[in-house]
Amino acid sequence: MRINVITRHAPANYGSLLQAIATQKLLQRFDYDCRIIDYIPEGETGVKVAFTQVKEKSNWNKNFLKKAAYILSREPEYIVMHHKFLQMRKKYLKMTERCKSREELEKKFGKSNDIFVTGSDQVWGPVSNGKIDMAYFLNFLPDDATRVAFASSFGKANYDKDSINEIKDKLKLYKNIAVREDRAVELIQEMGIEAKQVLDPTLLITAKEWSKYISKAPKIKKYVLIYQIHNDSNLNKYAKEYAQKAKLPLLRVSPLFHQIGRGGKFVWLPNLDEFLSLIKNADCLITDSFHGTAFALNFNTQFIEILPKTGTSSRNQSILKLTKLENRIVNNLDDFRYIDEKIDFAQVNKILEEKRIESLDYLENILNNEE
């Protein structure tokens, strides 16, 4: 039987791509013909991303000149970045033909008898334009279609009443719902709907399996690595001081060229294998990223977190709570005890293995029930 997965596979960042790879790999493990629905709205491709994002940035959206400056400064990097990630998606994912709208999705899938899965990542939260995209709630399918959610995420913790009512009506159509964060379980249960917490798909693939994607280790043997999603000067300052005190070189990895001036030797837009290798071989990862955290956990890489102030930190906190590593959150920017205070990964690995078995058993059971 065929499974079609809709997920946030196309944003030009490593977490989106890696979770899509993991989701497809897991479903194929159960002998399903799994395809990623190549749904990318017009406003999330190439240079159009700059136009979409500037509308949500109050500092740049005040007048025409500021908006033009933002778009002109970001346009070249977005074009290069999206071309690179398109090539990686083609290499690692089995996808359907491209769909740009709900109408195109309905035309292609509206009469299908396949299983449809809303996959991992922040599918149920605001997208690039700041709004919820109901396509990720499979609103292009008839009510009696087979819907399953696995490791889905809202991205943020709170919604207004109107949004909750719209979301609730769509979630009631799902046969089974598994989400990534504990707060997502609470949010859905508050709607009177059952939900289960499971691991992110990237954590359901073992470090040994992910290591097969890596071709070589970095030339630098010991280093501190920054993987930063949000613009936070505190993270930049802390990372530079940490590396200096640890007497190690500082590397920064990002697909965004404008991060070149934030500190650290810049590794721009590496291939997937190099990105994974940088995290696996780091002496310490300093991050605000959920998937940065997930891969540090999987590879048993020492890490610390400076949480983003964007309302999306619940996803980071959830995985740290699960693995009993909430103490890795930096609350005092003058605190550098983490240089010597190392994580004992024995307990972490035990927790992840138990949760991995539980999550995979749940996935297998719900898929068997849909056949």
pLDDT value at residue 301: 98
> Does residue 371 have a pLDDT over 60?
no
User: Does the structure show a pLDDT above 80 at 13?
Assistant: yes
Q: What is the mean pLDDT of residues 308-315?
A: 71
pLDDT at 76: 77
Give residue 333's pLDDT: 94
* Helix or strand holding residue 297 (H, E): helix 290-299
- pLDDT exceeding 90 applies to what percent of the chain? 73
Angle at 189 between CA 363 and CA 357, to 5 degrees: 25
**How much is the average pLDDT of 293-298?**
98
Q: How is the chain split into domains, by residue range?
A: 2-205+355-370, 207-340
Residue 52 scores a pLDDT above 90: no
Span 227-235, average pLDDT: 93
User: Is domain 2-205+355-370 given the CATH code 3.40.50 in the classification?
Assistant: yes
Instruction: Evaluate if residue 367 carries a pLDDT over 60.
Output: yes
Is residue 46 very low, low, confident or very high in pLDDT (cuts 50, 70, 90)?
Answer: low
Q: Which pTM was predicted?
A: 0.91
- DSSP-assigned letter for residue 131: S
Task: Give the model's pLDDT for residue 70.
Answer: 56
Name which CATH class applies to 207-340. Answer: alpha beta
Residue that wins the pLDDT comparison between 367 and 46: 367
pLDDT confidence of residue 77: 83
**Long-range contacts of the stretch 342-351 (C-beta < 8 A, 24+):** 342/302, 343/300, 343/302, 343/303, 345/300, 348/297, 348/300, 348/323, 348/324, 349/300, 351/322, 351/323, 351/324
328: β partners: none
β-sheet bridge partners, residue 252: 226, 266
Select the more confidently predicted residue: 56 or 282. 282
What is the pLDDT of the chain when averaged over all its residues? 90
Please state the rounded mean pLDDT for residues 242-251: 98
Q: Tell me, what's the pLDDT at 312?
A: 58
Say which range, 117-131, 156-170, 333-347, has the weakest mean pLDDT: 156-170
pLDDT at residue 72, as a whole number: 60
**Structural tokens at position 249:** 């070189």
Bigger pLDDT: 277 vs 368: 277
Percent of the chain at pLDDT above 70?
89
**One fold for 2-205+355-370 and 207-340:** yes
What is the DSSP secondary structure assignment for residue 132, as one 8-state letter? B
Q: Is the pLDDT of residue 265 over 70?
A: yes
Task: Assign 220 to helix, strand or coil.
Answer: coil
Question: Would you call 130 exposed, middle or buried from its count of C-beta atoms within 10 A (0-12, 13-18, 19+)?
Answer: exposed
